[in-house]
Amino acid sequence: MKTDRILTMAQAISEGIAQEMTRDSNVFVMGEDVGSYGGIFGATGGLLDKFGKDRIMTRPFLRLPSLAPQQERRRLDCVLLWS
C-alpha cells in the first residue's frame, strides 16, 4: 500500500483542521472569508459543508480572551516567507 501523498500547503492545512474538528467537537474556525469562500488560498475549503455554519464562522477577527484562536492572515510578507 502506497502511503506517500503530495498535498499543497492549503490542502494539508484543511485536512489537519478537519481531522482535529472530527476528533474534538469543541474545535471551530472563525475568521474572515473562512466559510463559503474557503479562506485565503482555500485553506478552509470544504469545511463549511462538512461541519456547518455553527463551527465554521465567517466574521472579522476578534480577540476573545477565553479562546486560543488559530488565525489565517492575509499578509504578503508571510506568503513570501512561506514560498
**Which residue bears the cell 469545511?**
47
Is the whole model's pTM more than 0.95, yes or no? no
Residue 70 grid cell: 488559530
Residues 32-81: tens digit of each pLDDT: 788 877 777 788 889 999 999 999 988 776 555 566 555 555 555 554 54
**Which residue bears the cell 494539508?**
12
Q: Can you say whether residue 32 is alpha, beta or left, with left for phi > 0 and alpha for psi between -120 and 50 degrees?
A: beta
Residues 14-28: tens digit of each pLDDT: 999 999 999 999 888
Within a domain: 67: no
Quote the domain boundaries for residue 35: 9-62+72-82
pLDDT at position 58? 83
State the total domains in the chain.
1
pLDDT at position 83? 43
Within a domain: 1: no
The SS3 assignment for 33 reads coil
